[in-house]
Amino acid sequence: MKTFKVIGLMSGTSLDGLDLTYCHFTRTLDRWAYRITKTQSISYSKSMKDKLKNSIYLSADELLMFNNTYGQWLGEQVKSFIKTNALEVDFIASHGHTTHHQPENGLTYQIGSGQHLANACKHKVVCDFRTNDVALGGQGAPLVPIGDRLLFGEYDFCLNLGGISNISFEKDGQRIAYDIGLANMILNYITQKIDLNYDKGGQLAKSGTVNQKMLDALNALDYYKLPFPKSTGFEWFEDKVVPIVDATDESIENLLHTSIHHLCEQIALQVKSNTTKHKSNLLVTGGGALNDFLIATLKTKLGEAVDVIVPSQELIENKEALVFALMGILRIEREINVLCSVTGAKRDSSSGVVYLPN
């Protein structure tokens, strides 16, 4: 039996903050087991959030500098996380923060310089998990489905509701996964109009009603008609979704209510068209799993044939960082950690770049 002690780092598209997830993994023959031992979530300051959100508009020089300073910042957070909790660590696996994602242009970019990170925390770092897959012709996303297969195989579907929603499942012996589309990115965009970071529990959304014109416009977005492999991000949101929201003269409650109906309809479509069993189960993680109105709407749209499983808050908030930690281990062990059945790349790969501290 082999044991690994890894810190996974994740900063997602909803821009809520950095998740640090210290986990222990063991492998016995081909079976992986994990234990999340310590976690910390560091909320971004308003200025950091704005900087990350606007990083797409930075000049090349500014972006390269931000890559370095953000990597240094990540390393400092890791250093104090290790010190405060007296952790024994084999290495750090860092997703970084996506500033650009344009798979149609062969481009994905995550900031958080691995060398700066490694030097600042004095540990080995594995990062840059997406570039190799894009170089092999893939989307470079989603990557978490390898973890869905190895750690969460008891679920028919794994659904993540972060800034973007994505789904993963087995079909004919292959893992299939893709970004469905919207999740908290649209909800947070709406609440930020009244200076609220997010709609806790979906309370505001719950008191609204559907605006049919907005619902129809969202459901008609071209992205939904694309076949998988497919992935999306902030560029699509800003280009195609923001104009629909901004053109709708409605209360915040109605905008939120309509958006939740929209995203749950899209999720239900994907689950129903890929269900082969009489009764299936679906694991929901990501911050959207804490939105009670969203989960209630999803359950209604899915019906009795699908059991919606909302796990512990710890797993809801740490699953992505946990899986990046596992991907780091697979990279160090030179094993497959990116699945071409998901991304559409030429082949499976062992992706990620290793940095040693200096």
Ligand X SMILES: CC(=O)N[C@H]1[C@@H]2OC[C@@H](O2)[C@@H](O)[C@@H]1O[C@H](C)C(=O)O
Ligand Y SMILES: Nc1ncnc2c1ncn2[C@@H]1O[C@H](COP(=O)(O)OP(=O)(O)OP(=O)(O)O)[C@@H](O)[C@H]1O
Question: What is the contact surface with ligand Y in residues (CB under 6 A)?
Answer: 12-14, 16, 160, 162-164, 184, 187-188, 198-202, 286-288, 290-291, 320
320 lies in the site for ligand X, by CB under 6 A = yes
Provide the minimum distance between the beta carbon of 100 and ligand X in the complex, in angstroms, as a whole number. 9
DSSP string, 165-198: EEEEEEETTEEEEEEEEESHHHHHHHHGGGT-S-
Question: Using CB distances below 5 to 8 A depending on partner kind, what does residue 179 bind out of ligand X, ligand Y, none?
Answer: ligand X
Question: Using CB distances below 5 to 8 A depending on partner kind, what does residue 16 bind out of ligand Y, ligand X, none?
Answer: ligand Y
Residue 107 bridge partners (DSSP)? 102
The residue with its CB nearest to ligand Y is 287
Q: Cα angle vertex 137, ends 135, 141, to 5°?
A: 85
Beta carbon nearer to ligand Y, 55 or 115: 55
13 lies in the site for ligand X, by CB under 6 A = yes
- Of 7, 25, 101, 146, the residue at the interface with ligand X (CB under 6 A) is 101
Question: Using CB distances below 5 to 8 A depending on partner kind, what does residue 14 bind out of ligand Y, ligand X, none?
Answer: ligand Y
> Using CA atoms, how far apart are residues 331 and 338, in angstroms rounded to an integer?
10
SS3 320: helix
Beta carbon nearer to ligand X, 114 or 163: 163
SS3 356: coil
SS3 13: coil
> Using CA atoms, how far apart are residues 79 and 7, in angstroms rounded to an integer?
11
163 lies in the site for ligand X, by CB under 6 A = yes
- Of 11, 231, 259, 343, the residue at the interface with ligand X (CB under 6 A) is 231
| Strand pairing report for 125-127 and 280-285 | unpaired
Provide the minimum distance between the beta carbon of 24 and ligand Y in the complex, in angstroms, as a whole number. 22
CB-based burial label for 313 (10 Å; 0-12, 13-18, 19+): exposed
SS3 26: strand
Residue 26 bridge partners (DSSP)? 3, 33
Question: Using CB distances below 5 to 8 A depending on partner kind, what does residue 156 bind out of ligand Y, ligand X, none?
Answer: none
Provide the minimum distance between the beta carbon of 229 and ligand Y in the complex, in angstroms, as a whole number. 17
Beta carbon nearer to ligand X, 71 or 208: 71
210 within 8 A of 258, measured Cβ to Cβ: yes
Residue span binding ligand X (CB under 6 A) among the ranges 29-37, 71-79, 159-167, 244-252:
159-167
Beta carbon nearer to ligand X, 120 or 143: 143
Enumerate residues 250-289 that contact ligand X by CB under 6 A: none
